[in-house]
Amino acid sequence: MVDDALAFAAGPSGIGTSAARITAELAHEPAYAEREWGDGTASPLYVPVVERVDEPLAEEVDRRLVAWAADCGFTGEGLDQIAKAGFGRLAMLAHPDSADPDLLLIAAQLNAVWWAADDYYADDSALGASPTELPPRLALVMAAMDPVAPAGEFSGPLEEALRADPILVGLNSAVGHLGRHGTPTQVQRVCYATFSMFVSWDAYAAWRYTEAYPPAWEYLAARQHDSFYTSMTLCDPVGGYELPAAWFYDPRVRRAMMRAGTACVLVNDLYSVAKDAADENPVCNMVLQVAADRGCSVEEATEVTVDLHNTMVREFEAGHRELLAVPAPELHRFLKGVRAWMGGGYEWHATNPRYRS
């Protein structure tokens, strides 16, 4: 796998040769398949195939992740949850163009603390999540990830607060690790994708607090900005290259990434229905919102969500195919990485004890 990645990065040179080579490689790789999921009673999910399974590599990334989490102040149940969640395995599955444990650790660290913030701040009442406390907590998260300018006597209390919470310590440390390998542009892409995600978290908190839950269309609008798009912004720094801004923000690329990120987060909703419905303050979930809108069963709402997921994956596939005509090697590598993230993300959900009801 390492040799393949190096060959991909080097390859022939000259006008048009890189794009032609990458297009040929992509055309001959296995791409998508229908996969049974859950207990097998629902329609299959159309997903990219998994490109790499390397359990020793995943174990090494997880070993480093747990040591890092302990250094950040996670202890007891919180540390145990990180150890069992398999975020190192997620990084291994979702970023097959890197075999460097230190680069994969960037993805493992950020996904671990994003999940911890989601559980402890936003979603799980049993872990202390509170709708009224969420917005100020997220404001501190932003200060931890993207440090604010010094403000004299007012900086001391902020710095103390940022050191007091392992999640805030972890986010600051993870972004620092990203910055040692990536560029300032890549760091800010990750930060601002995260902050965009927080707007959706605040919307969920308001819905849960008021018990005025949204229709499915409104939830989905928020969910598209609270998706695995955020994790996918790590594809190029973890891969050891940078997608130029002109391509990263190109509307065609952004549409492809939003579709990919949303499709992946619908997988998360599908696997999380039982857990989300059981919370004392029910968590917003696409399946549950469809069921409430239509007055239908969870099984029927599941089929609607599966169909939406499969449509989005096929739309990503079509958009990716159209962009193969563009002579831009970094773009092709990036979109291939996004596709790999989709396949790896599905595999992680399908095999992770967290999502077995």
In whole angstroms, give the CA distance from residue 304 to residue 299: 9
- The whole-number pLDDT of residue 10 equals 34
Q: What is the chain's pLDDT, residue by residue, as a tens digit (357 residues)?
A: 333 333 333 333 333 334 444 444 444 456 999 999 998 999 999 999 999 999 999 999 999 999 999 999 999 999 999 999 999 999 999 999 999 999 999 999 999 999 999 888 887 777 877 888 899 999 999 999 999 998 999 999 999 999 999 999 999 999 999 999 999 999 999 999 999 999 999 999 999 889 888 999 999 999 999 999 999 999 999 999 999 999 999 999 999 999 999 999 999 999 999 888 887 777 889 999 999 999 999 999 999 999 999 999 999 999 999 999 999 999 999 999 999 999 999 999 999 887 765
- The whole-number pLDDT of residue 357 equals 54
From 282, 121, 272, 274, select the one nearest 211 (Cα to Cα): 282
Task: Find all residues with CB under 8 Å of 173, minimum gap 6, and list them.
Answer: 68, 71, 72, 109
Q: Is 0.85 surpassed by the pTM of this model?
A: yes
- The whole-number pLDDT of residue 299 equals 96
- Helices 251-278, 298-323: inter-axial angle, 10-degree rounding: 160
Contact 324, 82 (CB under 8 A): no
Domains of the chain (ranges plus CATH)?
7-355 (1.10.600.10)
**CA torsion angle 254 256 262 265 (round to 10):** -110
- The whole-number pLDDT of residue 29 equals 53
Place of tokens 């393949």: 4
User: What distance lies between CA 134 and its chain's CA centroid?
Assistant: 20
In whole angstroms, give the CA distance from residue 284 to residue 120: 16
In whole angstroms, give the CA distance from residue 201 to residue 206: 9
> Phi then psi for 46, rounded to 5 degrees?
-90, 115
Rg (CA), the chain: 20
Place of tokens 């049993």: 126
122 phi-psi bin (left φ>0, alpha ψ -120 to 50, beta other): alpha
User: What distance lies between CA 204 and its chain's CA centroid?
Assistant: 18
